[in-house]
Structure 1
Amino acid sequence: MPIVKIIERFLKALEAHVDLFFKSARYALGSIIMFGVAPEYFGLWLVWRGVSLMLPHWVFQWGDDKLYSLYQRMVLFFFETCTRLEVVLYGDAFDVLKKRESVLYLGNHQSTVDWIVADMVSLRCGSLGHLRYVMKDTLQLIPLYGFYFHVHGCIYVKRGKFSQSKMISSLDYLKNPKIPTWLVVFPEGTRYYPGHPKVIEKSEKYARDHNIQNGQGSSGKDISQHPVLKHHLVPKVKGTWLVTEHLHEKIDAIYDVSAFYEGSVNEEGIRGNAPQLIGLLMGKCKKIHIHIRRIPMSEVPKEEEALKTWLHNLYIEKDALAENFFSKDKETRASVQTRLGGRPHSLGLWSTLSSFLVFTAITVPALCTKFGRQLYLQLLVYGTLGGYGWLALRSVC
Structure 2
Amino acid sequence: MANLLDLKDFWRKIRELYTTVVGSMRYVFGSVIMIGVAPEYLAIWLVWRGASLVFPSWIYQWGDDKLYSLYQRLVLFFFETCTNLEVVLYGDAVDALKKRESVLYLANHQSTVDWLVADMISVRGGSLGHLRYVMKDTLQLMPLYGHYFYAHGCIYVKRGKFSQNKMIEALDYLRHPKIPTWLVIFPEGTRYYPGNPDVIQKAEQYAKDNNLPVLKHHLVPKTRGMWLVSRQLHDKIDAIYDVSVFYDGTVNKQGIRGNAPQLIDFLMGKCKKVHVHIRRIPMSEVPMEEEKVGKWLHQLYREKDELAENFFTPDSEKRNNVEKLLNGHKSSLNLWSTLSSFLFFSVLSVPFLCTKVGRQMYVNLLLYGSLGSYGWLVIRNVC
TM-score w.r.t. structure 1 length?
A: 0.94
Q: Report the equivalent of 1:35.
A: 35
Other-structure match for 2:143: 143
> How much has 1:13 moved relative to structure 2?
3.2
Paired position in structure 2 for 1:25: 25
TM-superposed deviation, 1:132: 0.2
Q: Provide, for residues 254-273 of structure 1, a one-character-per-residue CA deviation record: whole Å limited to 9, x for no partner.
A: 00000000100000000000
Q: Alpha-carbon deviations, 1:185-221, whole Å to 9, x = none? A: 00000000000000000000000000011xxxxxxxx
Equivalent of 1:322 in 308, 324, 341: 308
Deviations 1:144-199 (A, max 9, x none): 00000000000000000000000001011111000000000000000000000000
| Cα 1:7/1:65, change in 2 over 3 Å | same
The verdict on how the C-alpha distance between 1:324 and 1:390 changes in structure 2, with shifts beyond 3 A counting, is same
CA shift, 1:12, in A, is 4.2
Q: How far 1:6 moved relative to its partner?
A: 6.4
2:176 counterpart SS class: coil
Query: Is residue 302 of structure 2 the alignment partner of residue 291 of structure 1?
Result: no
Partner of 1:212: 212
Match of 1:133 in 2: 133
Which amino acid in structure 2 is aligned with residue 194 of structure 1?
P
* SS of alignment partner, residue 251 of structure 2: coil
- 1:384 equivalent in structure 2: 370
| Equivalent AA in structure 2 for residue 337 of structure 1 | E
- The sequence identity of aligned pairs, in percent, is 69
Cross-structure match for 1:67: 67
The DSSP-based 3-state class of the residue aligned with 2:237 is coil
Paired residue type of 1:64: D
TM-score (norm 2): 0.98
Opposite residue 144 of structure 1, the aligned amino acid is: L
- Give distance in 2, aligned partners of 1:113 and 1:244: 26
What CA distance in whole angstroms lies between the structure 2 residues aligned with 1:172 and 1:156?
14
Q: CA RMSD for the aligned pairs? A: 1.3
Per-residue deviation, 1:50: 1.0
Change in CA separation of 1:313 and 1:9 when aligned onto 2, cut-off 3 Å: closer
**What letter corresponds to residue 236 of structure 1 in structure 2?**
K
The 5 A counterparts of 1:1-397 are 10-213=10-213, 228-397=214-383
Residues 8 and 258 of structure 1: CA distance in aligned 2, closer, same or farther (over 3 Å): closer
1:202–1:9: structure 2 CA closer, same or farther, 3 Å change rule? closer
Separation in 2 of the partners of 1:205 and 1:16?
42
- Deviation per CA, 1:113-155, whole angstroms, max 9, x where unpaired? 0000100110000000000000000000000000000000000
Q: Distance in 2 between matches of 1:376 and 1:16?
A: 39
Q: Which amino acid aligns with 2:341?
A: S
State the 1:312 CA deviation.
0.3
Distance 1:252 1:346 in 2: 26
SS in 2 for 1:249: coil
Q: Deviations over 1:227-276 (max 9, x none)?
A: x1000000000011101100000000000000000100000000000000
Which residue identity does 1:203 align to in structure 2? A
What is the alpha-carbon distance in structure 2 between the residues aligned to residue 11 and residue 159 of structure 1? 49
- Alpha-carbon shift at residue 97 of structure 1 (Å): 1.5
Compared with structure 1, are the counterparts of its residues 7 and 303 closer, same or farther at alpha carbon in structure 2 (3 Å cutoff)? closer
Structure-2 separation of matches of 1:50 and 1:190? 37
4+ residue stretches of structure 1 with deviation over 3 A? 1-15
Query: Aligned pair in 2 of structure 1 residues 4, 322: CA closer, same or farther (>3 Å)?
Result: closer
User: How has the CA–CA distance of structure 1 residues 309 and 5 changed in structure 2, closer, same or farther, with 3 Å as cutoff?
Assistant: closer
